[in-house]
Amino acid sequence: MDNELFMNTEFPTPPEMATHFEHQPSSSSAMMLNWALMDPTPHQDSSFLWEKSTEQQQQQSIFDSALSSLVSSPTPSNSNFSGGGGDGFLIRELIGKLGNIGSNNNNSGEIYGTPMSRSASCYATPMSSPPPPTNSNSQMMMNRTTPLTEFSADPGFAERAARFSCFGSRSFNGRTNTNLPINNGNNMVNNSGKLTRVSSTPALKALVSPEVTPGGEFSRKRKSVPKGKSKENPISTASPSPSFSKTAEKNGGKGGSKSSEEKGGKRRREEEDDEEEEGEGEGNKSNNTKPPEPPKDYIHVRARRGQATDSHSLAERVRREKIGERMKLLQDLVPGCNKVTGKALMLDEIINYVQSLQRQVEFLSMKLSSVNDTRLDFNVDALVSKDVMIPSSNNRLHEEGLQSKSSSHHHQQQLNIYNNNSQLLPNISSNNMMLQSPMNSLETSTLARSFTHLPTLTQFTDSISQV
């Protein structure tokens, strides 16, 4: 499920994928991982992402990693976009990174121009980085990194878009399976989720069918489509555009690309159910119009039934969902937050937890400085071997391991520790030892008085870990 949703963000999934993705749904996560790894242009956080993914649950890690890369990357590099544009920019980047399945590298220049001129919002700005001419990488990689905008100029895009439109239905599926020319053989995995999505929207079949034919005029038409939130647009001559935007959304929007579609509230419901992931995508402000932009760098949000289709409210809704997702993750991380509901209380807990962790660090460093004044090196070296022998990831394990160390068990570890100690003792003269130990005990005693909260702290952390 996660993979499907995640894959859906790669919106410019050309229909070429259609036949292929059915066969390879499982590799989607691997593909995403590869993409996250290999994407050279944006940042160097891919290594970090890779670490995370190998360690954590793969799905969530991939998700988080991609999101974190997207989240973290734009801010340092694109400081000129500020305010409300931040999120949209992120989403544009997300789309741009994820969606480049389009194989066409031809019309990149043309595509960049159009959205700029049209939309006043930050969403209009295309991705600043042109497709990296990395032909050395695999084709898949290159396809991924080429901007999404390119394939909007693809003459066959209308067909593909129509097919992948969420408003398409099973008939779409049939059509996609049979008719789609498959140029891009590499990026196939992404569509598995999309096709299932497509099947959920039967309403716009009629809408979509006329669009299948106009391939070449599509690019022309979308430019002429006026930007605006009028709901009649899709139904009228701008019929390609909504399907276009929808398809683009489908392909690009994470967790079900949504466009604020006036028709088919039920459809929206279904789409809404699908979207759970963070980074859903900002609402596309120009919902019906601007078909070229959606493939490029927009994540489209569908308006829920009974809710305003205002671009602002849509964007807000997406943002709220994103925040909700992050809060859920934080809930898992911060102990004792399962019972807390509501943002304010959760934030309170998070603040307290972070502060307590910081205080712990301070206290532990103080303790370490008092305990280990001259033997820091010895301790650290010896402890490295100990820690390696006792790999542990939480406090309790550490304590157990250490207890086993300090107790007189005749484990291999114990023998090693004794060996270490025996090596240490000759190094330190007995006089020195005698001098040091009383000093240490003195210091520890004086410090212990000031650190009377140490036991409470450990109890606190123990209770936290137990929660």
Partner 1 sequence: MQPTSSMNEEFLKKWQMGLQIFRPSIDNTSVHERKKAIKLSADVAMASLRKGTTCWSRALIEKTATEDNFLVRQMLSGIKAEALINKKLPKKIVCHRKIVRRSKKILRRKSKSASEEAAAKAKRLVKRRTQGLRNVVPGGELMSNDVLLLQETLDYIVSLQTQVNVMRSIVDAAEAEIERTVCCSENAIVIRGWRDYSKPFCT
Sites for partner 1 among residues 53-112 (CB under 8 A): 55-57, 60-61, 64, 67-69, 71-72, 75-76, 79, 82-83, 86-87, 90
Q: Looking at beta carbons only, is 116 or 323 nearer to partner 1?
A: 323
Q: Does 341 bind partner 1 (CB under 8 A)?
A: no
Does the footprint of partner 1 cover residue 139 (CB under 8 A)? no
Q: Which of 112, 247, 239 is nearest to 168 (CA)?
A: 247
Indicate the residue among 106 and 423 with the shorter CB distance to partner 1: 423
Residues 24-53 close enough to bind partner 1 by CB under 8 A: 43-45, 47-48, 51-52
Segment contacting partner 1 by CB under 8 A, of 119-127, 150-158, 221-229, 421-429:
421-429
Is 366 among the residues that bind partner 1 (CB under 8 A)?
A: yes
In total, the chain counts a number of residues equal to 467
Selected binder of partner 1 within 323, 435, 439, 467 (CB under 8 A):
323
The answer to whether residue 273 forms part of the interface with partner 1 (CB under 8 A) is: no
CB of 384 to partner 1, least distance (A): 6
Q: Using the rule CB under 8 A, is 337 a contact of partner 1?
A: no
Asked if residue 439 binds partner 1 (CB under 8 A), the reply is no
- Give the residue carrying structure tokens 């003269």: 429
> Contact with partner 1 (CB under 8 A): which of 110, 276, 310, 443?
443
Of these, 427, 437, 459, 463, which contacts partner 1 (CB under 8 A)? Answer: 437
Considering the rule CB under 8 A, would residue 424 count as an interface residue with partner 1?
Answer: yes
Q: How far is the CB of 174 from partner 1 (least distance, A)?
A: 39
Distance CA 77, CA 365 (A): 35
Distance CA 385, CA 388 (A): 5
398 touches partner 1 (CB under 8 A): yes
Q: Please say which residue, 306 or 391, places its beta carbon nearer to partner 1.
A: 391
Residues 212-251 that bind partner 1 (CB under 8 A): none
Which residue number, 232 or 373, has a Cβ lying nearer to partner 1?
373
Query: Contacting partner 1 (CB under 8 A), which of 116, 206, 354, 435?
Result: 354
Instruction: Tell me how many residues contact partner 1 (CB under 8 A).
Output: 100
Residue 345 CB, nearest approach to partner 1 (Å): 9
